[in-house]
Amino acid sequence: SGALITAKMALEQGIDVLAVPGPIDSPQSAGTNKLIKEGAGMVLSAADIIDCLPLNLKLGLNTKKLYNEEKPPLEELSGPELSVVEAIGSGSVSTDDLALALNMPISELSGVLFSLEVSGVISCADGKYSRRKF
């Protein structure tokens, strides 16, 4: 739909392009994985996005608010967020396994995971999500 063309043009002009990698055997991941191969930055956590921000924007961020030191109460989570947190449980789970367990499209799940990671409820290591310990 033009996203890859736009990203390629941005890369050619020296503008930062970021992409979230996906499984190498998934046709849905071909575009983002190709972008990474061609020089786009890889996003594995919210910190990767913040690292690409210009310094003047970073200085204006309240990182304590962005990375909460305290876990928000579960009752403050939206329905999809709560479902994801409950599906993760006390283990660590890949995005694909969560999508299958919740019968949720990856596109929707990615947004929920990002929101939970930025709010400090979950963390991602080695491609698997787990609840943060407090």
* Structure letter (DSSP) for residue 92: E
- Give the model's pLDDT for residue 74: 65
From CA 11, how far away is CA 116, in angstroms rounded? 29
In the chain, residues under CATH classification 1.10.10.10 are: 68-131
List, in order, residues 6 or more apart from 58 with CB less than 8 Å away.
50
C-alpha dihedral sign at 65, 66, 69, 72: positive
Per-residue pLDDT for 8 more than 80? no
List, in order, residues 6 or more apart from 119 with CB less than 8 Å away.
68, 72
Per-residue pLDDT for 83 more than 70? yes
Q: pLDDT tens for residues 21-35?
A: 999 898 988 888 888
Count of CB atoms within 10 A of residue 108's CB?
Answer: 12
* Residue 132, token pair as written in the block: 């943060």
pLDDT band at 80 (very low <50, low <70, confident <90, very high): confident
Q: Please give the CATH number for the structural domain made up of 68-131.
A: 1.10.10.10
From CA 27, how far away is CA 86, in angstroms rounded? 28
Q: pLDDT tens for residues 30-79?
A: 888 888 888 788 888 887 887 777 655 555 555 445 554 455 566 677 78
Q: What is the dihedral of CA 5, 7, 13, 17, to 10 degrees?
A: -170
Q: What is the mean pLDDT of residues 80-90?
A: 86
